[in-house]
Amino acid sequence: MTTTQYVIGVDLGGTNVRAAVLDEATGKIVSRSANVPSRALDGAEFTAQQCAEAVKQALANIEIGTEHIRGIGMAVPGHIHPKEGEVLWAPNFKDQWLGIPLGKMVSDLLGGARIFLGNDANLAALGEFKYGAGRGSKHLVMFTLGTGIGGGVIVDGRLLTGSDGGAGELGHIFIAGGCPEARGGLAMFGTLEGMAQRDAITERAARKVAMGRRTLLTQGGFNRHNVTPKEICDAAAQGDSLAIEVLEETGHYIGLGVASCVNIFNPEVFVIGGGIAQAGSLLLDPIIRTAEANAVATLYAKCRIVIAELGDNAGIIGGAALVGHELAG
């Protein structure tokens, strides 16, 4: 008879929802669901059903009694009230999901299962803290770089959530002179997100191409709406000077954000995650140079800046980590 305790992590996105069963002690995934369409534009009831379906699929692939499942943690994009299990605001879902009791809705579909909710970027930080690049630390900050920029903060082993779950919106800190020019959505020019999100990176490349610069990116034509940060990273890895400049400039802006957070939170570990972090040292090196040059020296000396380890599993593993974190709290 097994004495292993398991937790379930759920990663809810605007396109798909995924779930996995994890060994709580190690964070190892022992069973996972397929990518289930989240039906984000069909309404909260449909999305809740899809979340429950993903959990059922993950459980169907392994023989574990419900007595060995400690709980279910869900990583959800948006402003999440963790204590209430409520989505206060999720802009990527139908009608922007204002005040949706998602935790209870999914729990009811799963026979009253114990469910905890958290912001996806916050939980990525929690997952890295417990099972990834931040193992063994007590103070951690994380940026998640992608379509937008999210964040999470761990202080003395606890996830910083604020008064109603909204803490850690680190992408919205200002790192340059702010003005009301919107880059798109909520990304304001002058914020970390406005200067270093996906679209900001590709626009930076487009401006250089428009100046007549030679680059591997123009082979086969250049379309600013189709080029991706990955293509820019690939070109930089081949020595393309334009692509390298784009990553250098992006790393500079991110480094300013890192320096600000180092000065505010005094972390032991600063984790850089999300798809854009896959650029590796081409992005990390300018981040480190800028952070070192702008942070308080004695605070920076205590902080390691590293690339995230959990990759695409960050939401699932972060959701799973939330279960033990909440039960211990």
Which string of b and e fits 270-297 if b means at least 16 CB within 10 Å?
A: bbbbbbbbbbeebbbebbbebbbebbee
Contact assessment for residue 59 and residue 47, using Cβ atoms and an 8 Å cutoff: no
Q: Which tens digit of pLDDT belongs to each residue from 316-325?
A: 999 999 999 9
Three-class DSSP category at 328:
helix
Instruction: Give the pLDDT score at 186.
Output: 52
Three-class DSSP category at 290:
helix
Instruction: Give the pLDDT score at 180.
Output: 46
Confidence band for 194, pLDDT divided at 50, 70 and 90: very high
Contact assessment for residue 27 and residue 320, using Cβ atoms and an 8 Å cutoff: yes
CB atoms within 10 A of CB 25: 11
Residue 176 Cα distances to 57, 110, 118, 181, 296, angstroms? 46, 47, 29, 13, 19
pLDDT at 3 over 80: no
Q: Which tens digit of pLDDT belongs to each residue from 206-255?
A: 999 999 999 999 886 766 667 889 999 999 999 999 999 999 999 999 99
Tokens of 6: 């398991």
Q: Report the chain's C-alpha Rg in angstroms.
A: 20
- The contacts of residue 105 (CB under 8 Å, 6+ apart) are 44, 45, 48
Domains and CATH numbers, the chain: 6-127+313-328 (3.30.420.40), 135-308 (3.30.420.40)
Task: Give Cα 78 to chain centroid, integer Å.
Answer: 11
Residues 138 and 156: their CA atoms lie apart, in Å, by 5
Q: What predicted TM-score, i.e. pTM, was given to this entire model?
A: 0.94
